[in-house]
């Protein structure tokens, strides 16, 4: 039973809140000999595994450290190009650390604004009049639940497909939003929510649900 994250999108489509709840951290460190038996590529400012997966290092994972020193973009701290280092035999054996790429805040904002037209299209495509937009989006590893309020704010929850009762949770989050974000006199509408009380209450709500199930709230 896992809830991966909570997102709130404002009426105009901007991401005003996101909370990563329980994303399992995948990290693998391994020593390699020359020649390297996995293919690495530089894309989107990250060095990622493009082919060849083994020992928990999967395609799509990004390179985070070489011999213990962190990788920034495609360079080490001292400015040497990572891919070049990996091409030179004298640098081997070498220890590489891989982990799953984390979404940056910018990417989240980007994805949230992408969901917005998708939601609108869904409501237009409907064969029946008066269709809500997307309420559940299902994939093999997660389900995204979306609840749009009458005022146009969207509350989204990403959870494991087996997690039940997430529709109720979206409404609970709405209540928390009404209480702890909107009743905070220093919060202005449509702006990103930076309210600690909101965050802590949300956190404890999610934990209760994961521990005791949705019926406990």
Using CB under 8 A as the criterion, which residues of the chain lie in contact with other proteins when the complex forms? 11, 119-120, 122-124, 130-133, 148-153, 171-172, 174-175, 177-179, 182-183, 189, 205, 208, 217
Least separation, in Å, of the C-beta of 91 and other proteins?
A: 54
CB 58 to other proteins: min, Å: 36
Q: Based on CB atoms, which residue is closest to other proteins, 41 or 126?
A: 126
- The H-or-E segment that residue 205 falls in is helix 196-212
In the bound complex, what is the minimum distance in angstroms from residue 117's beta carbon to other proteins?
9
Structure tokens at 200: 């802590």
CB burial readout 39-77, b (16+ within 10 A) else e: ebeeeeebbbbeeeeeeebeeebbbbbbeeeebeebebe
H/E stretch holding 118? helix 105-125
Nearer to other proteins, 160 or 167 (CB): 167
**Nearest distance from C-beta of residue 174 to other proteins, angstroms:** 5
Separation CA 36–CA 89 (nearest Å): 10
User: Which residue number, 90 or 150, has a Cβ lying nearer to other proteins?
Assistant: 150
- In the bound state with other proteins, the residue whose beta carbon lies nearer, of 4 and 155, is 155
């Amino acid at each position: 039973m896992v809830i991966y994250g909570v997102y709130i999108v404002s009426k105009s489509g901007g991401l005003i809140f996101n909370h990563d709840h329980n994303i399992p951290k995948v990290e693998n460190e391994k020593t390699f000999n020359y020649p390297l038996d996995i293919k690495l590529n530089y894309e989107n400012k990250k060095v990622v595994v493009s082919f060849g997966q083994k020992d928990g290092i999967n395609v799509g994972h990004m390179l985070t450290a070489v011999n213990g020193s962190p990788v920034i973009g495609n360079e080490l701290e001292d400015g040497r190009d990572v891919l070049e280092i990996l091409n030179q035999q004298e640098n081997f054996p070498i220890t590489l650390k891989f982990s799953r790429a984390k979404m940056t805040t910018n990417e989240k904002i980007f994805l949230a604004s992408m969901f917005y037209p998708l939601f609108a299209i869904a409501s237009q495509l409907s064969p029946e009049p008066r269709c809500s937009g997307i309420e559940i989006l299902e994939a093999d590893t997660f389900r995204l639940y979306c609840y749009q309020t009458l005022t146009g704010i969207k509350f989204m929850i990403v959870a494991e497909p087996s997690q039940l009762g997430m529709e109720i949770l979206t409404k609970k989050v709405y209540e928390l939003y009404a209480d702890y974000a909107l009743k905070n006199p220093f919060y202005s509408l449509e702006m990103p929510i930076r309210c600690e009380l909101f965050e802590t209450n949300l956190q404890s709500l999610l934990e209760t649900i994961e521990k005791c199930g949705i019926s406990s709230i």
